[in-house]
Structure 1
Amino acid sequence: MRYSPKVNLGDHVTQPYDKITPQMRAAYGARSPHNLVHLILPDEARAAEMGVDKYTMAARLFRQWCAEGVLERDARPGFYPYRQTFELNGKAYTRTSFIGLCKVEDYSRKIIFPHERTLAKPKADRLSLLRAGRVHYGLIFFLYEDDGAAQSIIDRCMAAPAVATATDDYKVKNELWHLSDQAAVQSLSAALSDRQLFIADGHHRYETSLNYARENPRDEHAQYTVALFLNIKSDIVVLPTHRSVFGVAGYDKNELHRKLGESFDVKRLNTLDEVIAATNAPAGTVCIGGFDGSAFFSATLKGDGPMAKAMPAKPAEWRELDVAVLHTLVIERILGITPERVEQEAGVGYHRDPKEALEAVAGGRANCAFFLRATRPDQVCAVARKGEVMPQKSTDFYPKALSGLALYALDMQE
């Protein structure tokens, strides 16, 4: 299912549901009564007025939009090549991928690999939405390894005019094509038939799809979900996620530095720019930037010894992650923020903009802040292959795949 070409796609698509703030939700809703946000984050007050729960209301709205021709089913099955063009820090990027259906598999089969843990509450919410409407609205974001066969099929399709275009809130140009030639469709499917898939974004959506498939084992359509597939050899942008730490009992910056010195070489720095530069250490070196409440510093790990001692059961691929070093040796062992508190979103704040982490400390909302370089896509795959998961918010793939480009309605399949 896609939005009709008669509507302005830019007024109807959204960022993934879990990236939508209350302010963004209001803005999306004001753009159009048919904006996807009304389905993926249905309004409880409006549902109460209708005398139903919000999930039932979303299901009714979906069926109504289909009847009105706002959403249409493509006559021919196929894949959707997807190009995103954007600028970041003065550099131009073009990311090409494709959208299609994927059979959900249990992680134990070693076909699909996660890299982060999920939380029960958001999965329950998404499962209720899926049960009510039997529609997958958002895309799971997979990485795959390609020898060039899949990419060449995508590139040939994109030589034609796009069937849909939208520029999102971050000035990313999103273009969509429909690959419906059955020979090309079969070739693209065959190119990925034996590939392992690594979840980049959408762990909660994937596990929701898996749970629904388990609930409905005789429903063939329920065994599939809709996803974006991106070649790991592409020019992939992963942004760092910085940390502010709050609620540290008896926080003492001098004690912080003393304990850091046991596992790190600590160096005083003068500016945030110097800190960010320091984190971009040579491969094989872990350097964490920090602000203790009054001064900037860098902390370079003294080899693998501290992590091997702290986490001997973990593979080297995991121990070498900057984010794993920060959480294990600093946040947990020095500052006393337990993994349970982190999972409950207590004790640690997450910031795409390093200045926001700094402002949290300056404003008295946090005790200290730490700055990281981005986790590389190959690190994500290496850790996932070992059956390990990373600390929360270890990756921030950019840009996000828009929701609303292609929907998978289970009851509208042939």
Structure 2
Amino acid sequence: MNTAGHSEATARRGLELTPFRGLRYDPDRVGSLAAVTSPPYDVVVRPDGLHHLQDADPHNIVRLILPQATTPAERNEQAARTLRRWLSEGVLAADAEPGLYVYEQRDGDGLLQRGIIGTLRLSDPAEGVVLPHEDVMPHVVADRAALMRATSANLEPLLLTYRGNGSAAAASQAVERAAEQPPLLSTTTEDGFSHRLWSITDAADVARVQSDLAQHQALIADGHHRWATYRRLRAEHASPSPWDYGLVLLVDTARYPLRVRAIHRLLHGLPVAQALAPLDGLFRIQHLDVPLPEALESLADAACAGNAFLLAGDGTFHLVDRPDQDLLSRTIPTDRPAAWRTLDATVLHSTLLDQVWHIPEDDPARIAYIHDTAATVRKAELDGGTAVLLHPVREEVVRDLARQGVRMPRKSTSFGPKPASGLVLRALDL
């Protein structure tokens, strides 16, 4: 069984992972490997986090994945110039031979995650090989596509999960054997995670991994916009070409289960009092004068019984739950499974954003999507807006909906830990 519960016998072909010559930082040319890494582009909290990363090292990867200039065209050209300069100066260099890369993450709480980085053949949705579970925002796909065109590079891997066949599987054995060897790199980032990277270059080992993965399908855990970008760029180039493949990290969740967290919303220009006013009589509203951890516990308890949200931004917290059922009947589409209709993200987008607050979900001037809970609250308090905090969706709900081909509202889940950006890149012209 695959991650999303599909019968793998229904697929015409499975995962096709190929080796590539990774671009990696030369440790002698940068302050430290930790100082040049970054969270994925959509996790960086801007502008605070962006400036912090830029100041960490003049060669931080954020200068490629989130270049700063006046116009989008100038930003992308700046990233392309920066990449070319770093290559010519030897700051980034390609490994001598193609390989698959084993990537390990550990934190101080005992979490261990290992997976395989390679270039994956881009499949069509009808093939059912790579299963998305969230909708995407067209302007984000267009932005990422323009950056990839300009740099001719996959600057950071997206995260895919699959369900392997236990420790006897060839891919698992290759991962564990590699992890017994001295790593290509080892570093600890400021979030407390340690990162190690190895390469698998032996042709027989690569073939065994490929044969194993060819039996499986994968769920997109993180990187829906980049996957959509890969597919758009593939359609723009005659096949065969390097654009037929995209950079991914594949994690076997039978061995290394991922964490599932929520992605929160920051509503610009909507003070908390104005957000709460139209909810009176439509939801139960409880004011919580408690610290953030206790407020999140109250949210978790309420989410067990039904839809619940935590609003913040005025120095306190407001638990919003028990929505009026007539309101939901009028605002939630009925052409989807019950599991989709009852998602907190569905109620947030279809009912609150669309019908109550009238905020377009794809307007960056009105709404931001932030992974870090405390940062969402802090920015709402600083900006005078409203933070809408959500409780995480259970992973089995995500898998079940993906199996049915049903997309969740955009930015519904945050699987992790996510791969650090900057440890290995892919240049398409190598």
Q: With the length of structure 2 as denominator, give the TM-score of the two structures.
A: 0.78
Return closer, same or farther for 1:320/1:185 CA change in 2, 3 Å cut-off.
farther
CA deviation after TM superposition for structure 1 residue 228, in Å: 0.9
Which residue number in structure 2 is paired with residue 277 of structure 1?
A: 297
CA deviation after TM superposition for structure 1 residue 313, in Å: 0.7
Instruction: Structure 1 unaligned segments of length 5 or more: list them.
Output: none
For 2:374 and 2:93, locate their aligned partners in 1 and report how far apart those are by CA, in whole Å. Answer: 44
Return closer, same or farther for 1:308/1:42 CA change in 2, 3 Å cut-off.
closer
Pick the aligned partner of 1:328 from 338, 346, 350: 350
Return closer, same or farther for 1:410/1:289 CA change in 2, 3 Å cut-off.
closer
CA deviation after TM superposition for structure 1 residue 126, in Å: 2.6
Which residue number in structure 2 is paired with residue 401 of structure 1?
A: 419
Return closer, same or farther for 1:352/1:37 CA change in 2, 3 Å cut-off.
closer
Deviations 1:149-178 (CA, angstroms, capped at 9, x unpaired): 233321221011211122224222111111
For 2:376 and 2:87, locate their aligned partners in 1 and report how far apart those are by CA, in whole Å. Answer: 44
CA deviation after TM superposition for structure 1 residue 354, in Å: 4.7
Which residue number in structure 2 is paired with residue 77 of structure 1?
A: 98
Pick the aligned partner of 1:166 from 187, 203, 206: 187
Pick the aligned partner of 2:281 from 237, 240, 258: 258
Return closer, same or farther for 1:345/1:71 CA change in 2, 3 Å cut-off.
closer
Residues paired across the two proteins, number: 397
- In structure 2, give the amino acid aligned to 1:180: T
For 1:24 and 1:370, locate their aligned partners in 2 and report how far apart those are by CA, in whole Å. Answer: 20
Pick the aligned partner of 2:60 from 24, 35, 50: 35
Give the match's secondary structure for 1:230: strand
Which residue number in structure 2 is paired with residue 365 of structure 1?
A: 384
Asked if the contact 1:209–1:225 (Cα under 8 Å) also holds between the matched residues in 2, the reply is: yes
Which residue number in structure 2 is paired with residue 11 of structure 1?
A: 35
Return closer, same or farther for 1:353/1:377 CA change in 2, 3 Å cut-off.
same
CA deviation after TM superposition for structure 1 residue 219, in Å: 3.9
CA deviation after TM superposition for structure 1 residue 14, in Å: 2.3
Deviations 1:96-126 (CA, angstroms, capped at 9, x unpaired): 1221110112223322222223233333333
Which residue number in structure 2 is paired with residue 207 of structure 1?
A: 228
- In structure 2, give the amino acid aligned to 1:313: D
- In structure 2, give the amino acid aligned to 1:241: I
Return closer, same or farther for 1:68/1:255 CA change in 2, 3 Å cut-off.
closer
Pick the aligned partner of 1:286 from 296, 299, 306: 306
Asked if the contact 1:232–1:377 (Cα under 8 Å) also holds between the matched residues in 2, the reply is: no
Which residue number in structure 1 is paired with residue 239 of structure 2?
A: 218
1:228-267 to 2 correspondences below 5 Å: 228-233=249-254, 234-243=256-265, 245=267, 247=270, 251=274, 253=276, 256-260=279-283
CA deviation after TM superposition for structure 1 residue 396, in Å: 2.2
CA deviation after TM superposition for structure 1 residue 83, in Å: 0.9
CA RMSD of aligned residues (A): 3.7
Asked if the contact 1:81–1:158 (Cα under 8 Å) also holds between the matched residues in 2, the reply is: yes
Asked if the contact 2:299–2:319 (Cα under 8 Å) also holds between the matched residues in 1, the reply is: no
Return closer, same or farther for 1:398/1:102 CA change in 2, 3 Å cut-off.
same
CA deviation after TM superposition for structure 1 residue 343, in Å: 1.7
Instruction: Structure 2 unaligned segments of length 5 or more: list them.
Output: 1-22
For 1:28 and 1:363, locate their aligned partners in 2 and report how far apart those are by CA, in whole Å. Answer: 21
Return closer, same or farther for 1:126/1:314 CA change in 2, 3 Å cut-off.
same
Return closer, same or farther for 1:111/1:360 CA change in 2, 3 Å cut-off.
same
Q: With the length of structure 1 as denominator, give the TM-score of the two structures.
A: 0.81
Pick the aligned partner of 2:248 from 227, 242, 249: 227
Give the match's secondary structure for 2:115: strand
- In structure 2, give the amino acid aligned to 1:394: S
Q: Percent identity?
A: 28
Return closer, same or farther for 1:287/1:175 CA change in 2, 3 Å cut-off.
same
Return closer, same or farther for 1:386/1:260 CA change in 2, 3 Å cut-off.
same
For 1:361 and 1:60, locate their aligned partners in 2 and report how far apart those are by CA, in whole Å. Answer: 35
- In structure 1, give the amino acid aligned to 2:306: V
| 2:80 matches 1:59 | yes
Which residue number in structure 2 is paired with residue 134 of structure 1?
A: 152
